[in-house]
Amino acid sequence: MASNSNRYGDSGRLAAPGGLPPPAPVELAQGEALAGLIREEMAACGGSLDFARYMELALYAPGLGYYRGGAQKFGASGDFVTAAEFSVLFARCLARQCQQILNELDKGDVIEVGAGSGVLAVELLRALETLDSLPDRYFILELSAELRQRQRTLIARELPHLVERVHWLASLPEERLRGIIFANELLDAMPVHRFKVSQRGIAQMHVSWESNHFVWCAKPANDIVRQRVEVLALPIPYVSEINLQAEAWVRSMAAHLSQGVLLLIDYGFPRAEYYHPQRNEGTLMCHYRQRAHDDPLILTGLQDITAHVDFTAIAEAGVEGGLSVLGYTGQAAFLLGNGLHELARASDPTALRAHMDLARQVNVLTSPAEMGELYKVIALGRNIDIPLQGFSLQDRRGRL
């Protein structure tokens, strides 16, 4: 598994587009159908689409987008591996954090947003059951009908006695929630605006179609993007992204939380690091069959497209929505604060292979060279004021 691609792109694994494995004929046909749909919309919009709209269609066009078509996507035989797919220890640590919150609230519900293959839901529910801390209801809010079906099948197979407790949602429930809303690697999969600052001013990057390929084209930035970029006072030339959808999503989750915690795990940085003068080519990253590269205009609909998360923007959106920042730290500190070592030590050392596997998983989850440092955890809360154990070893709220 260590040779698989995490979604931030393994160092040394940046493949030249020409070096990517060729898609199968069925994938090519799906990619062509999606490209046709995108080109139709481009034609209707005067010849180009804002990159955020291109990314939205590439990932989420019904039936054809990357997350809504039938591709494998997750795990060793897919395109990338998330922490939840990589190690059960991730879900077990998260369960401990959930247990603390649910105890404080004297029970409540859990909403997992963007559940992917469903592996995280299975392992989290299993661990919460072992801890005798199952939530009253476990909701999965998932955009992709195809993934909702996969999640349902997996949970029914792995946890038949708990499947009644799990409810799938295509949008947020009417009632406000008391409990926990959490998401792992969701925000990075939301469509971003890409901008370019040059001597000519601030441009918004669009995508158009030329000579049988999608190509970049620069257009004057709309007012919102321009105003947001102006205050960053970036050096010239500079290309980066801004995730307005993630901010709106946080505000809407905040509005739905009557009491409890919004817990978000993803790769990214505080704003000062995100828009560091040296990060002048942005953070877009694509994943295709365990290879990471930086060209979102190829393999449209067949590859994952992501951008890193500006956690300062996420914290600000939460505060605007009436939440308080309860903690912010790296994934390593969060998992260790939730007893990662203790959980790993509980394995039987005489079962040498399993024991060594767990040791390797701890290393990948926590090493600063792997997922430990780039991945961050932020907790935003309403009407709850306890020191969360995931931030007990280190809390970097001050850096946001």
Q: Footprint of ligand SAM on this chain (CB under 6 A)?
A: 67, 74, 82, 84-85, 113-116, 120, 141-144, 147, 184-186, 189-190
Nearer to ligand SAM, 54 or 74 (CB): 74
Alpha-carbon separation of residue 22 from 18, 25, 59, 212, 249 (angstroms): 9, 9, 19, 17, 35
Nearer to ligand SAM, 110 or 218 (CB): 110
Nearer to ligand SAM, 69 or 179 (CB): 69
Q: Which two tokens stand for residue 301?
A: 């609909």
Minimum CB distance to ligand SAM, residue 141 (Å):
5
Nearer to ligand SAM, 185 or 395 (CB): 185
Instruction: Mention every residue, 6+ apart, whose C-beta is less than 8 A from residue 282.
Output: 194, 239, 240, 241, 307
Residues 240, 279: Cα–Cα separation, whole Å: 8
Minimum CB distance to ligand SAM, residue 170 (Å):
9
End-to-end C-alpha distance for the chain, whole angstroms: 32
Nearer to ligand SAM, 143 or 163 (CB): 143
Minimum CB distance to ligand SAM, residue 8 (Å):
12
Nearer to ligand SAM, 122 or 205 (CB): 122
Nearer to ligand SAM, 74 or 138 (CB): 74
Task: Please choose, from the candidates 89, 82, 141, the residue with its C-alpha nearest in 3D space to the C-alpha of residue 112.
Answer: 141
Alpha-carbon separation of residue 259 from 51, 103, 106, 295, 324 (angstroms): 36, 13, 11, 41, 11
Minimum CB distance to ligand SAM, residue 189 (Å):
4
Q: Cβ(307)–Cβ(241) under 8 Å?
A: yes
Angle CA 36–192–187, to nearest 5 = 115
Minimum CB distance to ligand SAM, residue 304 (Å):
7
Q: Which residue has the tokens 């390593």?
A: 332
Minimum CB distance to ligand SAM, residue 267 (Å):
11
Q: Which two tokens stand for residue 23?
A: 């898609």
Minimum CB distance to ligand SAM, residue 137 (Å):
17
